[in-house]
Structure 1
Amino acid sequence: MLSILIPTYNDDCYELVQALALQAKALNLADWEIIVADDGSTDGQVIARNKNLQDIPGCRFVRNNDNMGRAAIRNFLVEQARGEYLIFIDADMKICEPNYLKRYVMAQALGNVIYGGYIVQGGTKTNLRFLYEKQGEKNRSAQLRNNQPYKDFHTSNFMVSRKVMKDLPFDERFRHYGYEDVFWGKQLEVYGESIVHIDNPVAFCTFEQNSDFIIKTEEGLRTLRLFRNELKGYSPLLKVADKLERNKLKPLFACIFRVMGKRLKRLLLSKHTNLLAFQIYKLGYYLSLK
C-alpha cells in the first residue's frame, strides 16, 4: 500500500490533493491513501477549504487544534498511515509531472529513502524568496544532488519506507521553522541508511512577501543557533561563522551588523532586494544571536 502524506499549516492544498488522487487512480494501485494533517492552522478560509478534502475519494483530512511543530506533525502522519511506503509532500507544492506517482512507484527498488527534488515556477525579480530559490535551481539535478546526498535532502518531496520512519523518526525538538530535514539527513548518514536522489520534482510556485520571508529566515537562524552543535558540518553558514570565530572576527562582524543591519533589512524589503545583501544579513543576524 502507498500512503501520500501532506502536513499543512495555513496552506490550501485542495488542488494538490486532487492532482495526486487522479494520478493514483490512473495507476490502478492495489491500495492507496492520501492523508492531510492540519497542524493548528489559524486561517479560517484555508481551514474551510481543506475540510472539503474529505469529499475526494481516497483522502482523509485530520485537523489538530494545536500546533505540534514541523517534526512532530510528520511523525503523527506516519502513525496515521497504513502504507509500507510513504510519500511526503509539502502543502505549498504543485504537481508538475504527469507521471509523478508512477516514477516513485518504479523507484521503490532503488532504496528506502528516495528524494525527488523540486523546481521553481513563476515569481518576480522583486520577490526575495523567488530569487533565493531560483539561484539554487542549477544545483538541483539528481546527478548533482547524489554527489552529497545527505546534505542535499529536503522534506518537500520524498518517499520513505515505513520501517525507516519507525526506526528514525523526525526529532521533535525541532518545533520551529528550519533544519529538521537537515538533521534528519544527518541521522540517516550516521545510521548508514542511504538516500537516493532522482529527478521527480514537484513545483514550488508560492512565494511569500519579502517581510514574511525575512521573519521565517530569522526563525530558521534561531533554530540553527540552538542546534549548532548537532548541525555542524551540515550548514554552509555555520562553516563561515565558525571560521570568523576562529579568526577572532566574530565580534567585529557582529558590531558592523548592529550598525548596518536595519539598513540591510530595508533594502531587502524594497523592490531593489538582492541575494548578496540577503546572505550578508543572514550571517550578521546569526552572529548577533546570543
Structure 2
Amino acid sequence: MDNIKVSVIVPVFNAGEYIGKTIDSIINQDFDSYEIIVVDDGSTDGSLEIIKKTLENSQIPNRIIHQKNSGVSVARNNAIDVSKGEYIVFVDADDYITSNHISTLYNGKSDFSLTLVVKKDGEKLTDPKPYTQKSIKTEDFIKMELNMQIVFNFFQIMYRASIIKENNIRFTPGIVYGEDIEFAHKALSYGDEIIINNEKTYYYVQHPESAIKTTEYKRFKIVEIFEGLADFYNKNNKPELANLITTSRIPKAIFGNMNFFFHNGYDFNEVMSNMKEQDLLTKLSKYEGDSKFKLKIRLFLLNPKIYYKMWMKLKNSID
C-alpha cells in the first residue's frame, strides 16, 4: 500500500497486560490506507513478544521499533520520524479505540480533527461533555483551553503530519509531566482550523497504579511546561496567548493541583513547602480572570492555613 493516509503511533513500556487489546482495536478499523507504528521502549515484561504476535498476521502495514528505555517522548519522536501518513494519530499502550476512530477523525482537508474521550475506571465510564461547535479556529481553541473553558487530551486529536514535520514539532525528552500538552499546543498554533466530532471513539483506561504515579508533586511541573509555551508564543508573535498563560492557565493549574493534593490527603505543610520552593504563590497571585475564582485565590494567599481548614471541612461535609 503506497498511499498511507494515517499513521497510528503507539509507544509501549511494560504494558503486556493491555497492549494486545490496544493493538487489536487499532487493527480492526473500518478505514483503509493506514499504518501502525509501535515503539517498544525497552519493555521487560514480554510486551514486545505480544506486539509481534498480535501484528504478525495483520494485513495492515505495520512497523515495530525496539529501543532501549528512553521514555515515551523519545518513543513517539522516533515513530514520527519514520511515519508515512498524511495525518498522525496517537494511542497509548493501555487504551483502546472504537472501530470508527480513524474514519471519524479523517476528512483529508482540515489541519486537525477531534473526537471525544471516554475515561474508563474499572466498570465506570465517564460521559464526556460534547463540544458546541462543529469547527473552531485553532487560535480560538487554544484561547479556550488557556482559560480552561474546554478540556482536551492530545490523543483525541488527528494531526496533519506536514505541520508536525515541517515545523519540527516533537515531544521534549525528559519531561516528567505535561509533554503531551506542550506538543498539542505547539502543533495547533501552526494550523488554521480544528474539526469537531462528538463521537465517543477513544477510551482512556485508568488504573490504580497510574493514579498513584500522577499524585506525586511532579504535577506542579506543568507550570514549567506552560512557562516554556509562553516563551514559544512570544517568539512566534502571539503575545495574547503568552499573557493568557501567565494570567490564567498557570494560576488555575497551580490552584487545581494544590486542591488535588489536599483532596488526596497530602500533608498541608509539605504541599506549601513545595509551592514556596517553586515560587508558585507569586505565580498564583498573577491571576486576572473570573472574580469568584480570583476571590478564592486571594483568600488562600491571605491565610493558606485557614483556607485549608475551611476547604477540608467543606470537602468532608460533601464526602
Scaled by the length of structure 1, the TM-score of the pair is 0.67
Choose which of 69, 86, 106 in structure 1 pairs with 2:88: 86
Bigger RCO (CA 8 Å, 6+ sep): 1
The residue aligned with 2:166 is: 167
1:60–1:122 distance in 2 versus 1, CA, 3 Å: same
| Contact kept in structure 2, 1:188 and 1:194, CA below 8 Å | no
Distance 2:187 2:88 in 1: 16
Matched with 1:17 is 23
Work out the CA distance in 1 between the residues paired with 2:305 and 2:48.
42
CA distance in 2, matches of 1:84, 1:37: 19
The answer to whether the 8 Å contact 1:90/1:155 transfers is no
CA distance in 2, matches of 1:252, 1:88: 44
What amino acid is the match of 1:215? K
Report if the CA contact (8 A) 1:117-1:157 is conserved. Answer: yes
3-state SS, counterpart of residue 78 of structure 1: helix
Q: Pick from 4, 21, 32 the counterpart of residue 8 of structure 2.
A: 4
Distance change (3 Å), C-alpha of 1:255 and 1:239: closer
Structure 1 gaps, min length 5: 125-129, 265-275, 278-290
Offset of residue 255 of structure 1: 9.9
| Post-superposition CA distance 1:37-57 (Å, at most 9, x none) | 122334x13333223244033
Structure 1 residue 112 displacement after superposition: 1.2
Structure 1 SS opposite 2:141: coil
Q: CA deviation at 1:36?
A: 0.8
User: CA separation of 1:70/1:108 partners in 2, compared to 1, >3 Å: closer, same or farther?
Assistant: same
Aligned residue-pair number: 243
Matched letter for residue 142 of structure 1: Y
- Aligned 1:127-166 pairs, distance under 5 A: 134=126, 137-139=127-129, 141-143=130-132, 149-150=141-142, 151=145, 152-166=151-165
The separation in 2 between residues aligned to 1:144 and 1:9, in whole angstroms, is 36
Q: Does 1:237 align with 2:253?
A: yes
Contact 1:8/1:36 (<8 A) preserved: yes
- Cα distance in 1, alignment partners of residues 176 and 135 from structure 2: 25
* Distance of 1:252 and 1:18 partners within structure 2: 53
Of residues 187, 191, 216 in structure 2, which corresponds to 1:218?
216
Which ranges in structure 2 are unaligned for 5 or more consecutive residues? Answer: 146-150, 230-244, 257-280, 287-297
Aligned to 2:291: none
Measured after TM superposition, the shift of residue 251 of structure 1 is 8.7
Alpha-carbon offset, residue 190 of structure 1 = 4.1
SS at 2:216 equivalent: helix
Pairwise mapping of residues 24-103 of structure 1 onto structure 2 (< 5 A)? 27=31, 29=32, 31-42=33-44, 44-55=45-56, 56-57=58-59, 58-67=61-70, 69-96=71-98, 98-103=99-104
- TM-superposed CA distance for 1:144, in Å, is 6.5
C-alpha distance in structure 2 between counterparts of 1:180 and 1:102, whole Å: 27
Q: Is the 8 A contact 1:114 1:160 kept in 2?
A: yes
Aligned-partner SS, 1:230: helix
CA-to-aligned-CA distance 1:63-119 (integer Å, 9 cap, x gap) = 21122x3333222111111122222222222223x43332233x222x111122211
Do the aligned partners of residues 116 and 138 (structure 1) sit closer, same or farther apart at CA in structure 2, a change above 3 Å counting?
Answer: closer
1:108 partner letter? G
